[in-house]
Chains A and B, each alone.
Chain A
Amino acid sequence: MRDSFKIPDLTKGVGLPVSKIGGYTILLLFFCGIAAYITSIYDPAFEPLFLALIFGIIAGNFQNDEKMKRISEKSLMVLLPLGITLYGLNINIPYLGEFRPEIVISTLLIASVMFVTIIWLSKLLKISRHLSLLLACGSGICGVSAIAIVSPLLRPKKEEFSAAIIIITAVGLTGAITYPSIGHFTGISPDDYAIMAGATLHQTGLVKISSHLVGVEDEALAVKGIRIAMIALVALVLSILYSESRLYVPWYIVTFLAVALFASTYLPSQIVEMLRPVATVVFSMTLAAIGYSVDIRKVQRVGIKPLLISYVGWLTGLAVFAILLWGGVL
């Protein structure tokens, strides 16, 4: 079984599983994706990608069918680039002119500090480079989706990928749970709360639920949009850094960026809204396929350190926000 996954070159053709068990596997992954998506509709805090991964892990570890695991791995050849490309529909590149410059700068600073802190701590505690980058991307940009998008570029181990998703989700949920209390006890303004949630929370869904209680959901999501937009830049940079030849960007990153740009600008919002579930389901299926083939015991063996680093990174970002807030920048 492969320890890492690689996006295949689709120009060379793809051998689709056509057997009965292959169909069953695809169907299973589809159900995982659908279930995750439906759950995320019920509660945005439940990130569909995370849920799909968990469902995949549960299904894979219960069934423990090597043949189906091989099929799920093979399905990644199609699902991963397709999911990444379609996930561009979920990226809404904001118009930075709408924001005050200090908000944009603060958001970028907080994200960068979180990114750097995690990278630095990971190096300090001898965490693998791939896992640290995944955690940094997940913490600093847009959580699970960022991890899923950059993972083909970094080619991490599946357990590291899965652990990163779980860790980022756990840390994000911690923030989502505690932010209302923090807002309540500190007495910060709703606008500042929106900036805090948008700039420090990991996933869009978590920003949504944490800001929903305060009533600044749109503002928080707008700030979050700034971080989400960073995925394009980071993906571009990482693809260049980790490409085998200089100035090479994988085609699915290009298509991802193109779809994101196209969806944010020219594509009618109705069509985008209509296609987003499809994109989410397909990407969820991708995560389910990854989770299906991963061993939970290997996932848990990454240890507590990445979790602690992620917490520290998040808290650092929160501390930077506090400094900026109390320093009068915001």
Chain B
Amino acid sequence: MRIFTKFILILFLISVISLILGVSIIDVSGVSPSYIAYVAIVILSVALFAAGSILEPIEKMKEAFEKAVKGELETVEVTTGDEFEELASAFNWMVKELRRERDALKESEERFRSVVEKIDGWVFELDRDLRIIYTSPKVKDYLGYNEEEVLGRKINEILENFPVDLIKNNEKFEFELVTKTKKVHPVEVTVSASGDCYRCFARSIEERKKIERELAFFRGILEHSIDAIVILDIDSRIVAWNRGAEIMFGYTAEEAIGKPIAFLLPEDQWNQCRENFRRAVLEGHVKDIESVRYTKSGDTVIVDQTLTSIYDSTGELVGFVAIMRDITRRKKAEIELKNTCEELERRTREILEVQKELYHLASIVENSNDAIYSVDLEGKITSWNRTAEKMFGWSKDEAIGMDSSDLLPDEIKNETDFILRRLRDGDSDLRFETRRLTKSGDIIDVEIAISPLLDEVGVLRGFSVIARDISLKIESERDAERRMLRYEVERGRVYFTDSFDVAVGVINDLIKCGYDGKVISRRYPEVIGVREDGYLMMANRRKGITVEPDPAKIYREIVRMPGWKNAVLLDLDYLLVKWPFEEVYELLQRLKDLFFVLNKGILIAVSESGVLSERELKLLKMECGVIRSKGVDLPEEMYELLRFVYSKNRFGEKPSIKDIMSSFNITRNTAKKRISYLVEKGLIKMIKDGRMKVLEVTEDGREVMRAA
């Protein structure tokens, strides 16, 4: 029952009792019911307003309390002068305190609101239905919406896939906000349930994500770098050891972390290491430290190290990072490269020298006294030096591309083919005397040396010709030979004789004059009186010193003879037995051509068996020359000795008695006797050359030799 009703009832009860008592005093029968009603109305009215008057301050207090509960802190004006006024005064004091606290709270709220609004993050509150009931102004920055656009809306209407379960579980999570303009904004959302709402704080982690990505990037670089990257604390103890370091040094990260970096270094490098750390502290970093490190297996590696100091945000040194690159192979390669460079330099010098030499040689070739030219496989001249111009008359421009056969007289037009054939047969040193045709039509005697021109794989591409004009030499030699030889024979000729003694005498005479003697016969050498070293026996069985009695093979054997001072004795008897005369005759014709063209020496064909008919003998003598002997009035051995001394003197040499002994294979006394004989004849004289006695031909002796 309410107090108002209680007051009414109490006052009414008192009034009724008073009325009953009053009525009872007056006279109940004289009072009409209306009057009782009148009194009741009056009493009720008075009671109504009395109660109202009493309850008015209570009602005011009640309203004030209700307003206070609603946040409307208003004071109550009660001037009843009773306990209600005191209560109202107390209430007003409470209201003032509450106002002060509210103002303080408001100020605090404003402060916090200011913090919330200015904090770098989006603060929002959701009710139990996940509707946004509060949002800080930062929502514009984070979502692109105004506050009015999001208030009252469900979070999922604004942000699809927002993890509402995590919200309800008060969990901290990361989420990517999609703004109004579809821009993705990674945030970290912190949720705290407060009463009937969830208070959420979304903080941008874009920078953190970026740093994380960069960290991951750098971690990836650190982990996958082939360089050893080692992070050290300020005591140079290892705190990070990457995969590259594991591979390079063989230690795992667990094994390496905590150890000082010095455990990788030889002891003699510790001082240098300390110095590097000191420089890194002072200068910030030290580069290009080439040093030796030990691996777990005990091997050494050479590293190129960079040592850099690490500072924290306050600028305080917190450690070092050492980046080491294995340059062992590079170092080896450098050494190899250095050696190669040196080798290259050496070879370059050689090449330069060779080039210089080549230039020199080219100069020599160009300025040589010999005519030098080259011919390709088609017989075309490909080079032509200055001497060749002088010797043959054609200028270089005219000669290049000219057919080399144009240099050949008609009788030796096939010389080029002959040379090429010989070169293809493997003859690499072809020298012989021949003739050449000059531009003016003169024929000159030349000594030529043929060298093959091969390409880089050894294939014949042509040949070079060194030609020396030996016309005068040939002429003088022929004169000398004519004087020295006891028989009238001439180089480049083929002779026939029917006397083995004459043939052998000519051969021996030629051998003594410097010819290479060759005897091709079926007869034994001792029978015919020749030395075995130049003997070839005609036999069908093959052996080192045999040749088959075949005209073609004999021709080939003679052709292969080197040089151009060959004195060849060819015994025709066995051939004539084996072959018909025509074949032998044709052989001699070919040999005649050969000796004439190549000026290979002198060939003496001999036959004394009587197998030849008169006609055949006549044919042979017509085809070949006939040998004639000179008349000299000296014994054979004396003449030989004089000729020996004469020939030596011609070359500026003066033979001694010892030379005579060795040359003629005679005793000293025999040599002295023969020398005394010639001295007495006044043909030679003995003169002193230092302590030795040498021999010189007198003018009379020269006359004898000239006459011979």
- A181-211 CB contact bits vs B (8 Å, 1 = yes)? 0000000000000000000000000000100
A167–B4 CB distance below 8 A: no
A297–B4 CB distance below 8 A: yes
Residues of B10-57 at the interface with A, using a CB-CB cut-off of 8 Å, are 34-35, 37-39, 41-42, 45-46, 48-53, 55-56
B59 at the binding interface (Cβ < 8 Å): yes
A300–B4 CB distance below 8 A: yes
Stretch at the interface among A16-24, A75-83, A220-228, A303-311: A303-311
User: Which residues of the partner chain A approach B52 to less than 8 Å between Cβ atoms?
Assistant: 299-304
Given contact pairs A43-B34, A170-B46, A304 touches B41 in the complex (Cβ within 8 A): no
Residues of A206-252 at the interface with B, using a CB-CB cut-off of 8 Å, are 209
Q: With the chains together, A46 CA to B41 CA distance in Å?
A: 10
User: Which residues of the partner chain A approach B49 to less than 8 Å between Cβ atoms?
Assistant: 163, 166-167, 300, 302-304, 306-307
A176 at the binding interface (Cβ < 8 Å): yes
A274 at the binding interface (Cβ < 8 Å): no
Closest residue on chain A to residue B8 by CB atoms: A300
Q: With the chains together, A163 CA to B56 CA distance in Å?
A: 14
A173 at the binding interface (Cβ < 8 Å): yes
The smallest C-beta distance from A256 to any residue of chain B, in angstroms, reads 28
B4–A307 CB distance below 8 A: no
B46–A173 CB distance below 8 A: no
- B135-179 CB contact bits vs A (8 Å, 1 = yes)? 000000000000000000000000000000000000000000000
B4–A166 CB distance below 8 A: no
User: Which residues of the partner chain B approach A170 to less than 8 Å between Cβ atoms?
Assistant: 41-42, 45-46
Interface size on A, residues (CB 8 A): 23
User: Which residues of the partner chain B approach A163 to less than 8 Å between Cβ atoms?
Assistant: 49
A89 at the binding interface (Cβ < 8 Å): no
Q: With the chains together, A63 CA to B39 CA distance in Å?
A: 28
The smallest C-beta distance from A196 to any residue of chain B, in angstroms, reads 18
The smallest C-beta distance from B691 to any residue of chain A, in angstroms, reads 170
Closest residue on chain A to residue B44 by CB atoms: A170
The smallest C-beta distance from B51 to any residue of chain A, in angstroms, reads 6
The smallest C-beta distance from A36 to any residue of chain B, in angstroms, reads 13
User: Which residues of the partner chain A approach B59 to less than 8 Å between Cβ atoms?
Assistant: 297, 301
Q: With the chains together, A177 CA to B39 CA distance in Å?
A: 8
A300–B51 CB distance below 8 A: yes
From B39, B45, B55, A301 is in contact (CB under 8 Å) with B55
User: Which residues of the partner chain B approach A304 to less than 8 Å between Cβ atoms?
Assistant: 46, 49-50, 52-53
User: Which residues of the partner chain B approach A297 to less than 8 Å between Cβ atoms?
Assistant: 4, 59
User: Which residues of the partner chain B approach A306 to less than 8 Å between Cβ atoms?
Assistant: 49
The smallest C-beta distance from B274 to any residue of chain A, in angstroms, reads 95
Given contact pairs A166-B48, A170-B45, A304-B49, A176 touches B56 in the complex (Cβ within 8 A): no
Q: With the chains together, A299 CA to B47 CA distance in Å?
A: 12
A174–B42 CB distance below 8 A: yes
User: Which residues of the partner chain B approach A264 to less than 8 Å between Cβ atoms?
Assistant: none
Closest residue on chain A to residue B54 by CB atoms: A304
The smallest C-beta distance from A159 to any residue of chain B, in angstroms, reads 10
B41–A169 CB distance below 8 A: yes
The smallest C-beta distance from A79 to any residue of chain B, in angstroms, reads 25
Q: With the chains together, A177 CA to B4 CA distance in Å?
A: 27
A177–B42 CB distance below 8 A: yes
Q: With the chains together, A301 CA to B50 CA distance in Å?
A: 9
The smallest C-beta distance from A180 to any residue of chain B, in angstroms, reads 10
Interface residues of B (CB under 8 A from A): 4, 34-35, 37-39, 41-42, 45-46, 48-53, 55-56, 59
A-B contact pairs, 24 of them (CB 8 A): A45-B34, A45-B38, A46-B37, A163-B49, A166-B49, A167-B45, A173-B38, A173-B42, A177-B35, A177-B38, A177-B42, A299-B52, A300-B4, A300-B51, A300-B55, A301-B59, A302-B52, A303-B52, A303-B56, A304-B49, A304-B53, A305-B53, A306-B49, A307-B46
Name 6 extra pairs, CB < 8 A, besides A173-B42, A299-B48, A300-B52.
A45-B34, A166-B48, A167-B45, A300-B4, A300-B51, A300-B55
